[in-house]
């Protein structure tokens, strides 16, 4: 596997030139996510320079479980990012490096953006949810009181 840094300034992200996958060194995934736009822009420029068809994307998911870490050659573990994202990534249990196939960094960034948007909407709706819950509880309490056979009626 031919790996090299994605740029002269960014040495913690290594790119595989044959598969367009990337290796993120230990603890640097958050920084990689902040650089995803630059990484994609550079990848698109390289694709144009090499006259590659940007629509042809190799699906390497069938081979992921057989990968060894490009950094230390230890067998990598295949798992779902954030348990419910649907984004499968590989992690080396030995050196903690993370392998992301082509497009996975963008997918993770999109997933995190969607979660932030969802959290913001929940936060905005929370006062209304509390108000509705209070109304339901008051209505339930009134029904309960009205149906009490031992309630004193004047």
The answer as to whether 123 is a domain residue is: no
pLDDT value at 54 more than 60: no
The answer as to whether 69 is a domain residue is: yes
Q: What's the domain count of the chain?
A: 1
Which residues form the domain of 91? Answer: 3-113
Average pLDDT, the chain: 76
Residue 95 CB contacts under 8 Å (≥ 6 apart), including other chains = 26, 69, 71, 72, 74
The answer as to whether 52 is a domain residue is: yes
The answer as to whether 22 is a domain residue is: yes
Question: pLDDT tens across 81-133, in order?
Answer: 887 788 888 999 999 899 988 888 888 888 888 887 877 788 888 888 889 99
The span from the CA of 129 to the CA of 122, in Å, is 9
The answer as to whether 149 is a domain residue is: no
The answer as to whether 126 is a domain residue is: no
The answer as to whether 62 is a domain residue is: yes
Q: Pull the structure tokens for residue 69.
A: 């870490």
Asked if residues 19 and 10 have their Cβ atoms less than 8 Å apart, the reply is: no
Residue 105 CB contacts under 8 Å (≥ 6 apart), including other chains = 22, 32, 33, 36, 39
- Prediction pTM value: 0.51
């Amino acid at each position: 596997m031919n790996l090299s840094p994605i740029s002269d300034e960014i040495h913690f992200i290594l790119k595989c030139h044959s598969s367009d996958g990337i290796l993120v060194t230990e603890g640097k995934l958050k920084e990689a996510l902040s650089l995803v736009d630059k990484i994609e822009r550079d990848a698109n420029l390289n694709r144009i320079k090499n006259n590659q068809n940007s629509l042809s994307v190799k699906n390497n998911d069938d081979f992921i479980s057989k990968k060894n870490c490009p950094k230390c050659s230890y067998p990598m573990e295949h798992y779902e990012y954030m348990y419910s994202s649907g984004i499968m990534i590989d992690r080396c249990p030995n050196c903690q490096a993370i392998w992301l196939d082509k497009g996975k960094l963008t997918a993770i960034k999109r997933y995190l953006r969607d979660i932030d948007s969802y959290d913001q909407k929940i936060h905005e709706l929370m006062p209304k949810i509390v108000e509705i819950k209070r109304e339901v509880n008051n209505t339930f309490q009134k029904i309960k009181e009205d149906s009490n056979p031992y309630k004193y009626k004047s």
